[in-house]
Amino acid sequence: MPSSKITNTKTKSTVTLPESPSEGDRQSLKAVKAGSGDQHINLIDWEEKARAVLPTMAYDYYASGATDEITLKRNRQVYSEILLRPKMLCDVSYRDLSVKLLGQTIAMPILVAPTAFQGLAHKDAELATARAARSVNTIMTVSTLANSSLEEVAAEAPQHLWFQLYVYKDREITKELVGRAAAAGYKALVVTVDSPILGKRERDLRNGFHLPAHLSAKNLSGQGLDEIGSSEKNSGLAAYIASLYDTALTWEMLDWIMSIARLPVLVKGILRGEDAKEAMSRGAAGVIVSNHGGRQIDTTVSTIEVLPEIVAAMEGRGEILIDGGIRRGTDVLKALALGAKAVLVGRPILWALATGGEAGVKECLTILRQELDLTMALSGCATLAEITPDLLKLPLHMK
């Protein structure tokens, strides 16, 4: 079903709105809800249903954080400590949630974060997620460690994809991935810089995490590096990364990546203002404030509490996005008020994919968009530009 368009009579701008669900999507969601016995009211609803249908190893891989999982919890906790100060008597009869990122206008400031191995959640894996992102007119960031090749995903969602890059010791592998992403029509390169080695994810260690025989990291099949098997006394993924990822990743390596990339480069994994400033000085198009979902090093700062420092360091240069712990429309508004241009959502997408496939992911993104729209209206904001820091009362540790 084609998407619809609406024109803002105040600004004369035209925005493409999400497609209406197809009859197939309606039937899929009806089946999911009939089986679960209730509706999906919010993003949190999806996780318990996913826990019930996923094997323990898959659920724990998606859900877990590093060591004691303090950062994993803190990413959510700090959002709840930031309070709203809504404005009254504002005309919010028309609300525009569209945003322009790297020259492309999308329907909402909510993107799909890169998450590996989506085939553990659903047989259609990244292909289903890409179709859902396209249908609501947003962007999906495709992981290097996808179970579908980057070309297969590109065929499902042209114009709606960024590619997330891990840097391999073998520069030819990295160079080939960068070239393939550009050739396939991806709009940006997201370079993850917080993972020279894998964090200690104790649930994965206990489960002996590995990919089932029918799944592989298809982007690496040409190099014979697509299998992630079991490892004695270790996570198979940890062993894979330790043997192949570049632990000598430096700013000079980022220079090299930008020299070969024909795409804008976003640096993902930034938690310090000086690192954000350095990335911009070297030609990055922007940064993604991220602690890898609390999966790398525990007891780091949450992403939202470090966002103001990074915004100040960027001095208006480049795009600033944020991920980590975003589950509500109020969370999105708080991130935007503190200076993010958009947010990325990871785990809720996986839970929705596991329980509802493409239709589930579409519903998940739609619910979060609707919550943001409602929060904007009740806060006195008709556009994203009207979401300003004065809407927030910050906890003492953020002042």
299-323 pLDDT, tens digit each: 999 999 999 999 999 999 999 999 9
- Note the pTM of the prediction, 2 decimals: 0.90
Confidence of residue 18 (pLDDT cuts 50, 70, 90): very low
- Residue 27: name the closest of 360, 364, 367 by CA: 360
The catalytic residue among 40, 122, 210, 292 is 292
> Kind and range of the H or E element at 46?
helix 43-53
Please, what CATH class does the domain formed by 30-393 belong to?
A: alpha beta
Query: Which is more confidently placed, 236 or 143?
Result: 143
Which one-letter amino acid corresponds to residue 203? R
pLDDT grade, residue 36 (50/70/90)? Answer: very low
Q: d(Cα 110, Cα 346) in Å, to the nearest integer?
A: 11
Residue bearing tokens 């009254």: 88
- Average pLDDT of the chain, as a whole number: 90
Mean predicted confidence (pLDDT) in 218-226: 85
Q: How far apart are CA 292 and CA 195, in angstroms?
A: 9
CA atoms within 13 A on the CB side of 131: 15
User: What is the C-alpha to C-alpha distance for residues 163 and 28, in angstroms, rounded to an integer?
Assistant: 29
Which value, to the nearest 10 degrees, does the dihedral of the CA atoms of residues 255, 257, 258, 260 take? 120
pLDDT band at 232 (very low <50, low <70, confident <90, very high): low
Q: What is the pLDDT of residue 31?
A: 41
Domain ranges of the chain: 30-393
Q: Of 135-144, 153-162, 231-240, 358-367, which gets the smallest average pLDDT?
A: 231-240
> CA 289, CA 193: separation in Å to the nearest integer?
11
pLDDT tens per residue across span 240-282: 887 788 888 899 999 999 999 999 999 999 999 999 999 999 9
Note if 292 is an active site residue: yes
**Distant-in-sequence, close-in-space partners of 291: CB < 8 Å, separation ≥ 6:** 71, 75, 194, 269, 271, 297, 300, 301, 302, 303, 324
**Of the candidates 115, 207, 126, 206, the residue with the CA atom closest to the CA atom of residue 160:** 126
Query: 345 CB contacts (<8 Å, ≥6 apart)?
Result: 43, 110, 111, 112, 113, 323, 326, 365, 368
